[in-house]
Amino acid sequence: MADATTISQALPRYLSHLKVEAGLSARTLDAYHRDLALLLETLEARGVRACHQVQPQDLAEHLRLLHRERGLQPASIARHLSSIRMFFRWLEADGCIDDNPAGPLVPPTRWKRLPGVLSPGRIRTLIEAADSSAGRLWSRDRAMLELMYAAGLRASEVGLLGHSGWRPSLAVMLVDGKGDKQRLVPVGRPAVRAVECYLEELYPTLRRFNDGRDQGRLILSHTGRPLTRVAVWQIVRRYADRAGLGDVHPHMLRHSFATHLLQGGADLRVVQELLGHSNVATTQVYTHVDSRHLRDVVMNHLPREARRSA
């Protein structure tokens, strides 16, 4: 029989379970905590405090609020729903509830539209906006932008790049991705040149402190600490404004990386590995290339069409 445990009492126990028994990383735990803290806020506003009081309509309303008031897209709402489902499955297994109110909820349709992508020319304009007239940290910013595009980095991965993971002789970067998974990503000559310039001219001054604050990271702030995710967003936005490109966010460099690779003929599975996607279905969103490109592929590479145009 369900007990009178409140959600605010159960949440710390659940997070402890995820940390100790499930062995989730700190970043993953933070994500679950943020998702469920928002749920707790919604439920308390509706006067629902005990776990057994939660009804499917309460959860459905919370998901609607995430879309209407916070502007979350279906993919983000699906992630919140996944967090909620796991939490209530645990509550049921722990005896806090008899029936799982998250069971009837259906995930929203995942977005099918290709995320915002910059053309190669606009990528060049963005990166070249980081020049010597942009201030003392320009070489760091240029190296960061080059790597974000050349390696398809998430904003959260930039601050985790290790100095020891940079292999200029092999032109590869070791990236720590989601779920503590590592991947080796080859990078092109422009990125190699930009990173080597940064390491030679600026990095030693940023790493001047001897208290270990740099944590062995490659991309550092002016205080010598690793860049935060928020700082990465701010830097990208600043150079987008400087270049006159309008609304550009860090993930657009990652989207552009994947899209340009596929349009250049790269295999989907290769792009999946380079992006660090666990499931190839996540990578398939980048296969929605423009119709003219698809027509060119058919006309030039499908044997019967190629013979007809010969």
Give the residue numbers marked as catalytic. 154, 178, 251, 254, 277, 286
Reading the block at residue 277, the tokens are 């996607």
* R_g of the chain computed on alpha carbons: 23
In this structure, which amino acid lies at residue 193? Answer: R
> From its phi and psi, is residue 190 left (phi > 0), alpha (psi between -120 and 50) or beta?
alpha
Per-state percent for the chain, helix, strand, coil, to nearest 5: 60, 5, 35
Contact between 6 and 50 (Cβ < 8 Å): yes
Structure tokens at 176: 């720590």
307 vs 170: CA distance, rounded Å: 41
Q: Which residues neighbour 207 within 8 Å (Cβ) at sequence distance 6 or greater?
A: 214, 220, 224
Q: Cα(69)–Cα(210) distance, rounded to whole angstroms?
A: 46
| Encoded amino acid at 32, one letter | Y
Q: Tell me the three state secondary structure of residue 126.
A: helix
